[in-house]
Amino acid sequence: MTVLELVQAALQKNAEAFGNIHESRSEKIVLSVLAELVEQIKSVQEGEIEVDSLGKFIVRPVKANKDDNGTFQRRILFRVGSLGKKTAGKNKGKNKNKIKNKG
């Protein structure tokens, strides 16, 4: 699925939320938000990034090779949240980044 297809699907389901914003502008906004999310995830070596209504990204270091004790790589897990429910602040852990939905 492309970002444009995602925007078009959202427009069909909830056109009034987009107001007078054109599809191409909406696509640029979504791409910008996703780029920021990627940067947030890349900046965390270990911890969690919670996005209200989207879910939680969990970043953990794991051994790159069972035979090598000194080499680690990052594993990124995603847990889907519930639309409309704020999740940030409910779970306690180290290095939490919270991206809150202001809408």
Q: What is the pLDDT of residues 12-67, one digit of tens each?
A: 999 999 999 999 999 999 999 999 999 999 999 999 999 998 999 999 998 888 77
pLDDT at 82 (0 to 100): 85
Reported pTM: 0.71
* pLDDT band per the 50, 70, 90 thresholds, residue 94: very low
Helix axes 3-13, 23-43, angle to 10 degrees: 120
Per domain, the residue ranges of the chain are 1-43, 46-103
CA distance 87 to 69: 35
